[in-house]
Structure 1
Amino acid sequence: MKKFKIGYRTIKTAVGACIALLIAEYFDLHYFSSAAILTILCIQPTKKKSLNAIYTRIVASLIGMLYAFLALELVGYNPIVLGIMLLVFIPTLVSFKFTDGFISSVVIIMHIYNEANFTVSLLLNELALMAIGFGTALAVNMYMGDLQKDLDQYLKNIEELYRSIFSEIVKYLRNGDTSWDGKEIIEAANLLNKAKSIAFKDVENHLTRKENQFYLYFDMREKQLEIIERVLPKITTLPVMVQQAELVADFMEELANNVHSGNTAKKFRSKLEEVKEEFATMPLPENHEKFLAMASLYQFIEEMDKYLVIKQTFRGIRR
């Protein structure tokens, strides 16, 4: 059984439905309870989705009223005519990509069918219900919870996982410690998926914003994680420990201590070049196992250069 929880969207749905109902009842509209239904249908998780939902439902409802007038008023108010009208109405919404507005438009259509008389008074009543229902939903949906705190926490947790991963690599290179189970890799992947979802939601809550620094940051970290996952088996299965392993360990330790959202990739790429130069001055491998170990280490630092290139393209998070 899931933990009982009342979220922002649930609260907004309840409050919005209550407000719409009170307003429609105050103005003594026929079918006033439908205003609450229209509000509920438009409550969305983000501002952009809310605007799109309201636009879609307004257009679908207007088309529905037009179809109801042409079919029911001109042909007759009976179930067969209503059914034939829906056979034409639904494909129309699909063609114009307004299918999300079908339920709200049917609410309006059924009012017209129940009245069996399309009058100016009825038209104004339905337009008023739409204005109250959709307007209340828009007003309620303009308030969205601040996601900044969540994004900051995800960033902090992900960077901590990267430090742990690099520290485990250092332990292996220095001490041959093979006790690490790699759980931080899985945790990082899961956190990145959740973090990107929250960051995208934040974009959707800003009507004029097309991108989010946090989303770009988490996307960058995800690409880096792919490199780490790809190269990790090579660096943690060395046949023997060679002198070059200490060089790589020193570099990885410094990198682990400098995992943050700022852009220091250029600095660490320079350090990586120094590591490569030191590699070149060291004695050649004495046997096949040492050759394989050195080759794996060199391949690892080449991959870490790609890791840093990805970070170098990121401008950093401005606070």
Structure 2
Amino acid sequence: MKKFKIGYRTIKTAVGAGLAIVIAEYFNLQFFSSAAILTILCVQTTKKKSLHAVYTRLVASIIGMAFSFIALEFFGYNPLVLALMILVFIPTIVSLGVAAGFVSSVVIIMHIYSEANFTYDLLLNELGLMAIGFGTALAVNMYMGDFQKEMDQYLEQIEELYRSIFSEIVKYLRNGDASWDGKEIILAAELLNKAKSLAYKDVENHFTRKENLYYLYFDMREKQLEIIERVLPKITTLPVMVQQASLVADFMQELSENVHSGNTAKHFREKLETVKEVFAKMPLPETHEKFLAMASLYQFIEEMDEYLMIKQSFKGLKSKDKKKKITDKL
């Protein structure tokens, strides 16, 4: 059994429905309870989605009124005419890209059908219901929770997982410890999906914002995770431990300890170049197994250079709570 929970959208839907009825009833509109239906249909998870929902439902409802006037007034208020009208009406709104407004438009159409007389007063009544229903939905949906704190929490959790992953790599390179089950990688992937979804939702709650730096940050981390997943087999399947493993372990140790520091990706790429130079000066392998081990380690540091390059290309953002640039993190 799922945990009982009342979220922001549920509260806004309930408040909006009640408010729409009160307003519609205050203006003595017919079918005043339908204003609540129109409101409920337009309360969405983000401001942009809510605005789009109002647009599609408004356009579809107006087209529905036009179809109702032509079909019902000229051919009669009977079920056959209504069915034929809907048969033509649905493809029309689909072709115009407002099919999402079908249910709302049917509410209006059925009002007209039940009255069996398309009058000026009825037209004003339906327009009033739409104004109240759609307007109330927009009003209640203008409030959205602040995702800043939650996104910062995701950021911290993901970076902690990256630090743990690097630490496990160091353990293996130094001690040959292969007891790690890799759960941090799975957790990181799950958190990144949730974090990107939340960041995207934050974009949808700002009409003038086309991108969210948190979203770009999490996307960058996701690309880095793909590299980590790709390079792990290169070092966890070393046939033997060679001298170069200790050199790579020292670099990874420093990298893991500075995930939250002020060191830039550029700084660590320079250190990685030094590692490559030292790597090249080491004695050539004596056996085939050592050659394979050295080759895998060199491929690993090349991949880590790409890992850092991805981070270096990120333009960064500033956390409101920490007042510190995320670009300073690796």
| C-alpha contact (below 8 Å) 1:57/1:98 kept by paired residues | yes
Shift of 1:261: 9.2
Structure-2 separation of matches of 1:21 and 1:187? 46
Q: How does 1:87-126 map to 2 (within 5 A)?
A: 87-126=87-126
Unaligned ranges ≥5, structure 1: none
Structure-2 separation of matches of 1:263 and 1:102? 55
1:16 aligns with 2:10: no
2:134 — aligned with what?
134
Q: Please identify runs of 4+ aligned residues in structure 1 that moved more than 6 A.
A: none
The aligned amino acid for 1:253 is Q
Change (3 A) 1:176 1:141: same
Shift of 1:235: 0.7
Shift of 1:260: 4.1
Q: How does 1:185-204 map to 2 (within 5 A)?
A: 185-204=185-204
Structure-1 separation of matches of 2:135 and 2:57? 12
1:76 aligns with 2:60: no
1:43 — aligned with what?
43
2:325 — aligned with what?
none
Q: Name the SS for the 1:316 alignment partner.
A: coil
2:28 — aligned with what?
28
The aligned amino acid for 2:221 is R
Shift of 1:262: 6.9
Change (3 A) 1:253 1:51: same
Q: Name the SS for the 1:74 alignment partner.
A: helix
| C-alpha contact (below 8 Å) 1:42/1:137 kept by paired residues | yes
Q: How does 1:1-319 map to 2 (within 5 A)?
A: 1-260=1-260, 264-319=264-319
The aligned amino acid for 2:153 is Q
Structure-2 separation of matches of 1:144 and 1:270? 44
Q: Deviations over 1:62-85 (max 9, x none)?
A: 000000000001111000000110
Change (3 A) 1:288 1:261: same
Structure-2 separation of matches of 1:68 and 1:237? 72
Structure-1 separation of matches of 2:150 and 2:35? 34
The aligned amino acid for 1:132 is I
Unaligned ranges ≥5, structure 2: 320-330
| C-alpha contact (below 8 Å) 1:261/1:316 kept by paired residues | no
**Over aligned residue pairs, what C-alpha RMSD do you find?**
1.0
Give TM-score scaled by structure 1 length. Answer: 0.98
Q: Deviations over 1:252-274 (max 9, x none)?
A: 01111122497711111100000
2:327 — aligned with what?
none
The aligned amino acid for 2:28 is D
| C-alpha contact (below 8 Å) 1:64/1:105 kept by paired residues | yes
Change (3 A) 1:223 1:186: same
Shift of 1:240: 1.2
Change (3 A) 1:294 1:302: same
Structure-2 separation of matches of 1:157 and 1:62? 49
What is the total number of aligned residue pairs between the two structures? 319
Q: Deviations over 1:192-211 (max 9, x none)?
A: 11110000000000110000
Structure-2 separation of matches of 1:166 and 1:287? 28
Structure-2 separation of matches of 1:34 and 1:24? 9
The aligned amino acid for 1:180 is W
Structure-2 separation of matches of 1:151 and 1:258? 21
Shift of 1:318: 2.0
Shift of 1:315: 1.1
Give TM-score scaled by structure 2 length. Answer: 0.95
Structure-2 separation of matches of 1:313 and 1:301? 18
Structure-2 separation of matches of 1:95 and 1:282? 69
Structure-2 separation of matches of 1:262 and 1:222? 21
